[in-house]
Homo-oligomer: A and B are copies of this chain.
Amino acid sequence: MSSALTLYSYWRSSAAYRVRIALNLKQLDYDLKIVHLVRDGGEQHSEAFHALNPQELVPVLMHGQRIVRQSLAIMEYLEETFPDHPIMPATARDRARVRGLALAVACDIHPLNNLRVLQFLEHDWNVPQPERDAWVKRWINTGFSAIEDMLRDNPSTGDYCEGDIPSVADCCLIPQVYNARRFAIDIDQYPTIARIEANCLASEPFDKARPENQPDAPGSGDS
């Protein structure tokens, strides 16, 4: 029998990467359905996927027949539905800090640099590659600079963003660091982020979730 959890994912989607980490941290089995975001104009724009998510974005989580959309909503849903192996801290204060860090990535960095926006800049505005790269770097550096301050200046920061247990904040941060490296941003400018990234990537739940370890990654035989 197939797992009750199915994740619609794409190897390079950083929002899907967040949820893969969360599922692994919570030790939940899941089926993976690949939505190829580039091939044939993007499978996310197909009628079948639109019915699942009118936003035409991944990830989507199916829990039985239930559809859950938006990576942060999915992670909160997993936490509430499967409380073992928590990815949120125990107090309202600490949860607020974790959510604040997660949203600093999910609202103020990632949406400016995701595929549909870069496609718009390229095809609708004919923005040349160097300017598009500068755009991406601008918003990542603005965001990382603030996040570095918030991590460095707070005694709650530990091996991970909040204490010594990985949380939703790390689930958001690590995929964003992956994107930053794709755009050749020097992460050593942000020593606390770099330290947390190293801690995360050394652990199996993060490693298994990496884009290059997905079945649809180029070279995996399924792309």
Residues of chain A having any CB pair with chain B under 8 Å: 53-57, 66, 68-70, 72-74, 76-77, 80-81, 92-93, 95-96, 99-100, 103-104, 106-108, 110-112, 117, 120, 125, 131, 138, 143, 145-147, 149-150
Contacts and interface: CB of A to CB of B under 8 A. Distances in A.
Given A68-B96, A99-B73, A107 B106 contact: yes
A54 B112 contact: no
Nearest to A153: B54
B55 A108 contact: yes
Contacts of A72: 99, 103, 107
13 contacts: A54-B145, A54-B147, A54-B149, A55-B108, A55-B146, A69-B150, A70-B99, A72-B99, A72-B107, A73-B100, A73-B103, A77-B95, A111-B111
A76 B104 contact: no
Given A92-B81, A111-B108, A68 B145 contact: no
Specify how many copies of this chain sit in the oligomer: 2
A174 to B, nearest CB: 18
Contacts of A95: 76-77, 80
A114 B202 CA distance: 37
A72, A80, A100, A110: which has the most chain B beta carbons within 10 Å?
A100
Contacts of A149: 54
Contacts of A53: 146
A131 B127 CA distance: 13
A184 B219 CA distance: 48
A120 B146 CA distance: 18
A55 B104 contact: yes
A120 B138 contact: yes
A215 to B, nearest CB: 26
A76 B72 CA distance: 13
Nearest to A68: B96
Contacts of A55: 104, 108, 143, 146
A96 B93 CA distance: 21
Contacts of A100: 68-70, 73
B66 A93 contact: yes
